[in-house]
Amino acid sequence: MTLIAANWKMYKGPAEAAEFCLGLRERERELGFVNVVVCPPYVSLAVSVQLLAGTEIGVAAQNAHWEPEGPYTGEISPPMLRELGVYGVIVGHSDRRQYFGETDELVGKRAVGALAAGLFVIACVGETEAEREQGKTEDVLRRQVSVLEPDDNLVIAYEPVWAIGTGKTATPELAQDAHAFLKSLLNLPVIYGGSVKPDNAEPLLSQPDIDGALVGGASLDLDSFTEICRAGARIHS
């Protein structure tokens, strides 16, 4: 089934998250036959879990440490997320790689730790604009997924870095090629992240190897996110 995940990044504290989740809960029947997950900041996880309880909408964190506990000031462990009622976690988002020095090795460790704790994992991979221009896309993707092992609770998110928060979007054909290549490396679902919006969601989600979307800025608006979910439902119904 198509997975549509909302990555709110560092937006929506508890009050805004509550308002959004209440609205999303009211619209659950309109979302269609898709798996929907919201990924709030840590401080908004608890209220999101509470307000979406009893629905089919999951709540995932945006990151997690790989150890179950320890002297890691400022970090959150996978068992802590499970205790909170969180369903899954994003690892390796390009924001983490770009701004916080996240390496492939750390992404792999985070994925292993989260999966071991019983969390669903969205592992992000993708090339920069310079890497694409140099013809290194496949080399980069191969290296990034080399730290991952197939798992029933693991999904890959292909997010070309040059298309995140820039307004640029990979063409459906370009995204399809990358998704097909990733599936040739790991037999796992692959979702697309990179300026997904209501007006481009359907062409992207229509591609045979695109299994959903990791939505950034367009997921902050309830109407916008709802329409993307509906696009996924129309295609894969």
Query: Is 93 a residue of the active site?
Result: yes
Residue of 93, 102, 127, 227 marked catalytic: 93
> Cα 117 to the chain's mean position, in Å?
18
3-state SS class at 124: strand
Query: Using CA atoms, how far apart are residues 198 and 230, in angstroms rounded to an integer?
Result: 9
Question: For the chain, first and last CA: distance in Å?
Answer: 9
> Two tokens at 75?
């970090």
From residue 215, alpha-carbon distances to 70, 200, 219, 227 in Å are: 32, 12, 6, 12
3-state SS class at 221: coil
Query: Using CA atoms, how far apart are residues 113 and 59, in angstroms rounded to an integer?
Result: 18
**Locus of tokens 């089934």:** 1
Mark residue 212 as left, alpha or beta (left: phi above 0; alpha: psi -120 to 50; beta: remaining). Answer: left
Query: Using CA atoms, how far apart are residues 168 and 165, in angstroms rounded to an integer?
Result: 8
Residue of 102, 159, 179, 227 marked catalytic: 159
Active-site residue set? 93, 159
